[in-house]
Copies of this chain bind each other. A is one copy, B any other.
Amino acid sequence: MFEVPRLKLRPGTGNYSKGQARVVEILEAALDVLLDEGYQALTMRRIAKACGITVGNVTYYYKSKDDLVRDLLTGVLESYMDIFDHIASDTTKTAEEKFVTVIRLLLEDITSKKTTHLFPQLWALSNHDPFIAECVDEMYTGARAVLNRMIPEINPNLSEEEQKLVALFVSASIEGMTVFAGYNKPWRPHMQQIEGIAAKSLLDCVKNITSEDINRFRDKDFSLDDSPSAPK
């Protein structure tokens, strides 16, 4: 099974070899803390402890916690881009086969502790932190780029905008499984069956969806007639 490399980091951070290695250790330790204990536990002192060094040493490499977190997130999100590059490079399969492979790959990745614990945290943070929101958005745009190349091969009858909406739906559907069938989640044992449902359902979606389906609710105001409580 293909695994996401844990971390990608910018080169040339420390100047001595010891410093270079230390930066890696710090970021790895920070990621461990984030995944194991959550964002609230991600403090300079906790990172230092997980790394076996002192707080003063951590602040030597990162003057502010914000810098450290940014470096950590950009690094960890870049590591995910490798999955997409890997998939995109495959030329032996048909578009439909590749599509199913992508779906299964993403769903398998979701079951890892790293993905299950990292992404919900990023989703939460991105609601109030524009920088994180941008990082995450950029990564998902990269993820959908793979789908955007396969979908027109499977179904040529969609406009570019419609095709991109379908790619979004597919990607978002998959991400939604994280909370339910991710690492240590109640439905995790059934992920193989979920893969079966997703593969069939999402491939059929791409193959059969029409412009009429997509625009079925256009300009229609959706409301329920007998609300039990009046809107505020």
Contact = CB atoms under 8 A, between A and B. Distances in A.
Contact of A223 (B1, B85, B176, B194): B1
A57 B147 CA distance: 54
B217 A86 contact: no
A56 interface: no
5 contacts: A105-B224, A116-B127, A169-B198, A171-B180, A200-B213
A145 interface: no
A228 interface: yes
Interface stretch (A19-27, A43-51, A118-126): A118-126
Residue of A192, A196, A209 contacting most chain B CB atoms (<10 Å)? A196
Contacts of A201: 169, 201-202, 204-205, 209
Contact of A1 (B86, B181, B190, B222): B222
Contact of A197 (B104, B169, B180): B169
Given A38-B127, A124-B38, A216-B196, A2 B169 contact: no
A140 interface: yes
Q: Is the interface of A mostly helix, strand, loop or mixed?
A: helix
B127 A124 contact: no
A217 B187 contact: no
A206 to B, nearest CB: 9
A12 interface: no
A222 B104 contact: yes
A55 to B, nearest CB: 20
Contact of A128 (B37, B217, B222, B223): B37
